[in-house]
Each structure stands twice: as structure tokens, then as C-alpha cells.
Amino acid sequence: MALKIGLLGLGTVGTGTAKILLNPAERSPLLQEIEIYRVGVRSLDKSRDVSLPQKLMTTALETIVTDPAIDVVVEVLGGIEPARSLILQAIAHGKHIVTANKAVIARHGDEIFTAAEEAGVYVLLEAAVGGGIPVIQPLKQSLGANRISSITGIVNGTTNYILTRMQTERGEFTDILADAQKLGYAEADPTADVDGLDAADKIAILASLAFGGRIKLQDVHCEGIRQVSAADIAYAEKLGFVIKLLAVAKREKTPAIASPEGEVLQVRVHPALVPKNHPLASISGVYNAILVEGEPIGQVMFFGPGAGSGPTASAVVADILNIAAVLKTSKDAEQLHPLLSCVHQHYSTIAPMSELVTRFYARFLTKDRPGVIGQLGTSFGNHSVSLESIVQTGFQGELAEIVVVTHDVREGNFRDALEEMRVLEAVDSIPSILRVV
Ligand code: HSE
């Protein structure tokens, strides 16, 4: 008997998903046993890029999640509501869930996974992070033998596209963003992408899987790319770096704070200077990549298209196939497959950013007179911040531009030193502060 799918949403990802399911030739033979049973849409009149019988379509989405004939609800609506309520209702009706919705999982994963465990159903989300790149299942299955120490990702294509163009064209953020919006590479409201929120959702999900604890999204430090300037990109290049928006989740080796679960993580999103020989430095344009480090594997990197109809649908259908395979072979329907389900309950402890130990790049605008570099050096010294380099790089109008790169420092100390410098009469401003990988 075919596995019956209720598809919620027939936008970019829903259309891609339907196209694969309707055209199974030369793909997995298991696709022959999967049937699109109902499709929930906002409007019945809209012309579509896929041909589905009109009788499958409905605007009454609730009738899909409560339909006893449906086995799997595929939620590709995006956004928080009604997606969250429909997912919870579907789970309450015993349906397995496949979703591409990182926002709903990052914010409401706790109630969704708790409900799913109680109901004995799967919630699979390969498409929620990295579009078509397989990374969720590898973390759950193929890398299961490893102690994961860190995940570092470029998980937002829009910002990577903007930063890549800023680098190649020497353009400023606002001009490139406006052009990216015209060309359809950035949304009319670009906030979720350029302020790092989309990447924060994704790294919260990856951290939860890699380190086996729930993540409170509000604990994830999040900075976007609005403050990155063409000047910083040019200086970074001279120093041997490119600037990337990184999403990082790391196990703290020597945590400065205690955790009831005995484990402390860093989970953060921010632009960073990445050495040109780092595996993530060459990821350009809209592509995504996720570098996982663990013991004993060392480094493994997943690379590919992080968005788009076909790639994201490829991940959605992979999840549908996983459920189909498990349901077909499982003798014990009461027991969820331990490598597919998500059962951790506790929350991971996230270290405050002040405890992060990292290198920094900072750009100062100061009065141009003798002794200024000495004053900056003294303030850094007062807070135990050791400098790798400090150079006057040129002028902006009347003001001297000074670029500093530190050795590894505690972020709290570095910030204290900056506060001391901000009030110096010779310091006009500190336009950029970026971490260095
Ligand atoms: N808006 C995302 C990006 C794609 O720019 O990568 C969907 O996750």
C-alpha cells in the first residue's frame, strides 16, 4: 500500500517536491510507493509550475492534518503560524512530519519533539539547514561514532552572495544589497538573512543535533553583516583573510561557567575574518558549506546548494523516503528508529560571549598626531590584550585609520579595553570590530 502524503504548501519547495514525487523514474524505487494524497494551498486559482489534479487541492489545511488516510504531513509553508499549529495538530493525529521550516523548529522544536515522542512519530528536517546539502542525517547517522567538537558553517546564501560581491566588486553593503534585491538574490525585507537570524535558526538546529541538547534560540549570539564595509574587506584581504558570515557551534574545552549537564557550548553567528587557506574561505556566491570537526574523523565538509526549489525538495523527499523505508521494514511500530528520532530533553548551557577566546580585528579612526598608537597599545595592555599587529593604514578625511589584529584574547577583556579607548580624546570612532578565525 502506498504511503500517503499530505503536502502543506505548493510554493517553491512544495512545487519541487511534487515534481520529484510525480516523476520517480531513475530515482529510488521506493518512490513508486509514495502517493501525493492531498495538497494544501492558499489559493486554488493560482497558476502552478506543476500539474496536479485539481481534486487533490484544498485551502482547508486543517482537513489535511486530521485526515485519517494521510501517513506523512510535509510542511513547506514556512513562517511560524499556521505552520506550528498544523504540525502539532498533525502529530496529535499520529502523522509523521517532514518539514523544511527552520524558523518553526528553532523556536518551537521543544514542544514539537516532545509531542512527536509521545505520539511515536518522526519529525524529519533535512531541508531546514543547508537546503539540498545532506547534513542533518549525516550528523544523526554517518557521524554517530564521533565526538563532535565543532560545527562551522556558511549557512545563509544571501549573505554569502552579498559578501562575495562586496569582495569582488569592492562595493558597499547597501549598494550590493539593493542590486541583489533587484536580481532576486535577496528578499524585499532582507532582515532575516542580513541580520543573521536565518543562520542563527540553522546553527541552533545543528548544535542541538551535534551536541545532543536543546538550544534556546535567545542564547544564540547573533550579528549580521550590515556593519561590514568595503574598507574592512580590503584590509582583510591585505592581511590574508576573507570576510564570511559564520555560524559556529563549539564544545567549550575549559568552560568558565558551570553546567548542570556538564557541558558548555558556544553557539554564535557573526561575520569573521577567515584565513584564505581555510576550507570555508573559498565558498562563494549563494553556496553553503558546513565544516564538522570530530574525533576520530578530523574535519569533514558538506558543500552544495543551500536553497532553491530542486535542491531543497531533494532533501524533503529524502526524509519522506526515510520514513517510507522505516515504516515498510519496522516490525515494532511502537518503537521509533533511534537514529532517525530526536529524543533529548535537556537544554545545553551556552557560554556568554564575554568568555569567548578569539582573535579580533578592529579599525579605529583617530586624530592624526604622535602618541595615538601608543595610547591604544597602553589601553590594550591594561586589559591583558596582546596585539599581533597595529598599523596606520591611511586616512579618511582628516582622521587617521588604524587597524589592529590581536592574539587570542578573552572577549570580555577586549571589550573592556575598547570601552577605555572610546573615551580617549584622540579616538573619533571604532567603525569595525570583527572576530578572526
Ligand atoms: N534565505 C536563505 C538563504 C535560504 O539565503 O540562504 C533558505 O534557508
Both 118 and 13 in one domain: the answer is: yes
Q: Which residue in this structure is represented by grid cell 494521510?
A: 70
Both 180 and 260 in one domain: the answer is: yes
The CATH code of the domain that includes 373 is 3.30.70.260
Query: How many domains does the chain fold into?
Result: 3
Q: Does the residue 14 lie in any domain?
A: yes
At 56, the pLDDT band (50, 70, 90 cuts) reads: very high
User: Out of 95, 102, 140, 202, which one is annotated catalytic?
Assistant: 202
Both 152 and 236 in one domain: the answer is: yes
Q: Does the residue 349 lie in any domain?
A: no
Instruction: Tell which one of 101, 105, 165, 193 to mutate to probe ligand 1, the residue whose CB is within 8 A of the most ligand atoms.
Output: 193
| 247 has a pLDDT exceeding 90 | yes
pLDDT at 341: 87
The atom number, within ligand 1, closest to the CA of 157 reads: 6
At 415, list the grid cell.
571589550
Output the residue whose Cα is nearest ligand 1's atom 7.
Answer: 307
Both 51 and 114 in one domain: the answer is: yes
Both 102 and 200 in one domain: the answer is: no
Q: Does the residue 11 lie in any domain?
A: yes
Q: Does the residue 164 lie in any domain?
A: yes
Cα 267 to middle of ligand 1, angstroms: 19
Both 176 and 272 in one domain: the answer is: yes
Q: Does the residue 271 lie in any domain?
A: yes
The CATH code of the domain that includes 321 is 3.40.50.720
Both 186 and 292 in one domain: the answer is: yes
| 134 has a pLDDT exceeding 90 | yes
What mean pLDDT comes out for the span 49-55?
94
Encode pLDDT of 299-339 as tens digits: 999 999 999 999 999 999 999 999 999 999 887 667 888 88
Helix pair angle (230-239, 157-169), 10° resolution:
80
At 419, list the grid cell.
570601552
pLDDT at 315: 98
> Strand order in 3-8's β-sheet?
57-58, 34-40, 3-8, 72-75, 96-99, 123-124
What mean pLDDT comes out for the span 29-55?
95
Both 157 and 296 in one domain: the answer is: yes
* Nearest Cα to Cα of residue 297 among 147, 176, 132, 428: 147
Output the residue whose Cα is nearest ligand 1's atom 4.
Answer: 307
Q: How far apart are CA 18 and CA 362, in angstroms?
A: 49
The mean predicted confidence, pLDDT, of the chain is 96
What mean pLDDT comes out for the span 347-360?
96
Q: Does the residue 401 lie in any domain?
A: yes
What mean pLDDT comes out for the span 11-22?
98
Cα 285 to middle of ligand 1, angstroms: 12
The atom number, within ligand 1, closest to the CA of 186 reads: 5
Q: Does the residue 340 lie in any domain?
A: no
Cα 83 to middle of ligand 1, angstroms: 18
The atom number, within ligand 1, closest to the CA of 159 reads: 5
Q: Which residue in this structure is represented by grid cell 558543500?
A: 303
Q: Does the residue 91 lie in any domain?
A: yes
The atom number, within ligand 1, closest to the CA of 102 reads: 8
What mean pLDDT comes out for the span 42-49?
93
Instruction: Tell which one of 198, 203, 303 to mutate to probe ligand 1, the residue whose CB is within 8 A of the most ligand atoms.
Output: 198
Both 160 and 126 in one domain: the answer is: no
Using CB distances shorter than 6 Å, the residues near ligand 1 are: 156-158, 193, 198, 306-307
DSSP-derived 3-state class of residue 376: helix
Cα 193 to middle of ligand 1, angstroms: 7
Both 9 and 56 in one domain: the answer is: yes
> Is the model more confident about 15 or about 252?
15
DSSP-derived 3-state class of residue 112: helix
Q: How far apart are CA 146 and CA 133, in angstroms?
A: 20
Both 221 and 144 in one domain: the answer is: yes
The atom number, within ligand 1, closest to the CA of 306 reads: 6
Both 285 and 316 in one domain: the answer is: no
At 422, list the grid cell.
572610546
Q: Which domain holds residue 233?
A: 137-305
Instruction: Tell which one of 156, 164, 194 to mutate to probe ligand 1, the residue whose CB is within 8 A of the most ligand atoms.
Output: 156
Q: Which residue in this structure is represented by grid cell 564538522?
A: 292
pLDDT at 64: 98
Percent of the chain with pLDDT over 90: 92
The CATH code of the domain that includes 233 is 3.30.360.10
Whether 140 sits among the annotated catalytic residues: the reply is no
